[in-house]
Structure 1
């Protein structure tokens, strides 16, 4: 390799020069590569072969970090894509496992979300490179990561600092406690362990944490009042918590402003878990629980029971005697007939949704029980947000016309997601504003956006948007606009 003057210009497109450059990049040492690129061709840093690969692409593939940084300092664009696959230097560094090159590119501002010709980002390649079939057991170890606004100490990290990225809740990892369910609310969080223990953290006033006092907890603390009970499911809303045990018993604690705890006579608050009296449930075994701010829902295979403020979401008519609260669990008669076997139930502050094994979906709101879909078979999860409560029932706590559009999401076993909104007339399959097909394994919903996890283990955030369509296209599917933020989730068990 001599230092002769190159016989070309800064606009050189010689294929021979390109092949010479790429050959040296592949076989030479870092010092040899730098010397050759400085002497062989005036355009050696950016010249491309027939596949659109330049020197930066090759040094990224080979893991030669020193040359990579040297090329970027000389002004080589790190976002250039090759012609064959549309890969950038970052795609290549990640694919070939050269983490030092990845880190260097990220420090130089290269985006993780630049997509290739198949719509795959560099992070997508990491997910695609995992084994196709991984079998998880419910007893496999799990880690819990939380992030977001921590004003109310709900993240469990021991401080009030908010977190922009997922961070390990290290109390569980240090204690060898594996969590199988997490419920995050405005003022508190509830964690259910694989061994059936319940932990809570957040604001304590009102007894929502169940610790026997009203102290605030910065880190998750064991609810000792449930010791000896093997808890199987938890639900929570802004001010109260519900726990279901393996033997079908119900325990509630927290504020009881709206009689949502189901305890007779109704206390104002309950700061330790108290069992709901079974006589109101007609001896049936409860298999699920759900909660909204103003009510609680319990269900068996045959019946749905609700209690709390009757603002239209309980499934009953407005009480003619002016009673605004249902204190003891009351069966929703509209859902009580031989053709209904329940499989899923969900609740928001202003609505309740029930799914049957036949794939019928019922919505309880505005003092009505209406079927919104039929034959939606193999549904694995249903969620609801929004709803309108009749403010005249309780003007002190409900604002006039403070209604939100109801949004229902349902996910089936094939990874499809369906949506229903109060602005539409039927349940529709969601289409994603994303350049490749995705199959969903889990979903979460709040009033403005969703979180969903794909079967490849990717996490995404999405926001609703309505396209302006012609009148002839009103039946077109609702779409989501996806914010392409991958969530770095670490969980060793299936969520």
Structure 2
């Protein structure tokens, strides 16, 4: 499991205290309600009542969720810490999909909570009902804009989790249970980051791309044969210099086997594995360096990449997808084993003003300018 983080800001909420109940079942509901809606003080009171009545902090509600699962969804770090200190099991799996708390934290993009879970010994290899580890549930690239222009303050990038493929950028393959600074990016103004199973990417305020990790199949974008053949890894961030020329990158997404970006001019470049057509062009099984998706004529403003498919949004609000469609993830109204190797507009979304897109292994989500 790998995670990257640039910056984080919490939000303060004012909520009503939950009502108290006397039965053991009521006490359990009381804790669940406090976790979902109450303050840290409410949670403390509910925990005291639970202990007094001999309750189990890891009991599940009718939806198969423990109080810790609910706290993860709410993204309240102090409450998560308190539940863990009280004995909440970070590896308890929910009753629907078999997700642990770390699965949920990474799916929702709650990085600070994920860090707390890792510090408490949460498993990074625990699989859900579909054999997915927590990092497989990232619903999209972890991105945060933190600066732009020449006068921006230098940022810091941190990573943690499994370094088995050198995807942490720390120069070694060690397991990092706590956030560790990516020292080789010190002094850079990083505006975008994205993490996938085997590699990570970063974009500077100048629009330059850096990648690191295990590059077999070309996912890192470097021309060296020993890198894209898998004989060598890139153990610290290295700038991608081939294929892009002087273009500045606006947005980027890393997936399990490939990478996609859009430049400030709206051009789309892809590289990596093309076995399911996820690169958007034919004639190659793998592409070791950035190559433009020439069939896209419109200016692209948003990109998303999943295991075997890619999706983008144009400035005019249209969505284009390509790659594997076995589960209907391309949005064409069909699901079959045939892959689509070139971008195709999602006809059913025409007329909508779309501005954002996210992709996971078997599905795609888009966001409208009106919040739809």
- TM-score relative to the length of structure 1: 0.43
Partner residue in 1 for 2:69: none
CA distance in 2 between partners of 1:291 and 1:171 (Å): 26
8 A contact 2:194–2:254 mirrored in 1? yes
Partner residue in 1 for 2:239: 222
Out of 157, 160, 163, which is 1:144 matched to? Answer: 157
Question: Which runs of 4 or more aligned residues in structure 1 lie more than 3 Å from their structure 2 counterparts after TM superposition?
Answer: 112-115
Describe the shift of the 1:352–1:114 C-alpha distance in structure 2 as closer, same or farther (beyond 3 A). closer
Describe the shift of the 1:355–1:216 C-alpha distance in structure 2 as closer, same or farther (beyond 3 A). same
CA offsets 1:414-451 (integer angstroms, 9 cap, x no match): xxxxxxxxxxxxxxxxxxxxxxxxxxxxxxxxxxxxxx
Offset at residue 204 of structure 1 (A):
1.3
Out of 253, 268, 281, which is 2:271 matched to? Answer: 253
Structure 1 regions of 5+ residues with no counterpart? 1-85, 87-111, 116-135, 361-495
Out of 297, 301, 305, which is 1:287 matched to? Answer: 301
- The answer to whether 1:178 aligns with 2:192 is no
8 A contact 2:147–2:205 mirrored in 1? no
Partner residue in 2 for 1:303: 318
CA offsets 1:339-390 (integer angstroms, 9 cap, x no match): x101221110111111112222xxxxxxxxxxxxxxxxxxxxxxxxxxxxxx
CA distance in 1 between partners of 2:169 and 2:337 (Å): 39
SS in 2 for 1:242: strand
CA offsets 1:135-162 (integer angstroms, 9 cap, x no match): x754232110111111111000001111
SS in 2 for 1:353: strand
CA distance in 2 between partners of 1:251 and 1:181 (Å): 16
8 A contact 2:305–2:359 mirrored in 1? yes
Structure 2 regions of 5+ residues with no counterpart? 1-44, 46-79, 84-145
8 A contact 1:259–1:266 mirrored in 2? no
CA distance in 2 between partners of 1:258 and 1:210 (Å): 18
- Structure with the bigger RCO (C-alpha within 8 Å, sep 6+) is 2
Partner residue in 1 for 2:329: 313
CA distance in 2 between partners of 1:194 and 1:310 (Å): 35
Offset at residue 255 of structure 1 (A):
0.7
Partner residue in 2 for 1:328: 342
CA offsets 1:65-101 (integer angstroms, 9 cap, x no match): xxxxxxxxxxxxxxxxxxxxx9xxxxxxxxxxxxxxx
- TM-score relative to the length of structure 2: 0.56
Higher strand share: 1
CA offsets 1:88-118 (integer angstroms, 9 cap, x no match): xxxxxxxxxxxxxxxxxxxxxxxx9569xxx
Offset at residue 323 of structure 1 (A):
6.7
8 A contact 1:346–1:354 mirrored in 2? yes
Partner residue in 1 for 2:222: 211
CA distance in 2 between partners of 1:183 and 1:113 (Å): 26
8 A contact 1:190–1:201 mirrored in 2? yes
Partner residue in 1 for 2:211: 200
- The answer to whether 1:155 aligns with 2:168 is yes
CA distance in 2 between partners of 1:137 and 1:188 (Å): 23
RMSD: 2.3
Describe the shift of the 1:149–1:137 C-alpha distance in structure 2 as closer, same or farther (beyond 3 A). closer
CA distance in 2 between partners of 1:284 and 1:325 (Å): 22
CA distance in 2 between partners of 1:290 and 1:271 (Å): 19
Partner residue in 1 for 2:368: 356
SS in 2 for 1:171: helix
- The answer to whether 1:242 aligns with 2:260 is yes
Partner residue in 2 for 1:343: 355
CA offsets 1:450-472 (integer angstroms, 9 cap, x no match): xxxxxxxxxxxxxxxxxxxxxxx
Offset at residue 243 of structure 1 (A):
1.4
SS in 2 for 1:159: coil
Q: Larger Rg: 1 or 2? A: 1
CA distance in 1 between partners of 2:200 and 2:329 (Å): 24
